């Protein structure tokens, strides 16, 4: 598996599940690490979604939560 864990930034190749996923409220956490390069993301949480930008590769993503 390629790519990086959005919770801890570790490579998915040798990542056997993230401890953070088991924590209460994990589903309410936006990603914090870039899935492409594993670097930290800056995340701007908005009322109905969030926008992120990788500090290394500068990949941007926008997520709008479904309404209803």
Binding-site ranges for another protein (CB under 8 A)? 7-9, 20, 23-25, 28-30, 32-33, 40-51, 55, 65-68
Q: Is 9 left (phi over 0), alpha (psi -120 to 50) or beta?
A: left
Measured from the CB atom, the residue of 13 and 66 that comes closer to another protein is 66
Measured from the CB atom, the residue of 20 and 57 that comes closer to another protein is 20
* Contact call for residues 63 and 49 (beta carbons, < 8 A): yes
* Contact call for residues 17 and 10 (beta carbons, < 8 A): no
Measured from the CB atom, the residue of 13 and 68 that comes closer to another protein is 68
């Amino acid at each position: 598996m390629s790519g990086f864990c959005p919770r801890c930034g570790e490579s998915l190749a040798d990542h056997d599940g993230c401890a953070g996923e088991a924590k209460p409220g994990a589903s309410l956490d936006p990603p914090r690490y870039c899935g492409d390069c594993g670097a930290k993301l800056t995340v701007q949480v908005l009322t109905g979604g969030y926008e992120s930008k990788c500090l290394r590769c500068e990949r941007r993503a926008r997520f709008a939560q479904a309404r209803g």
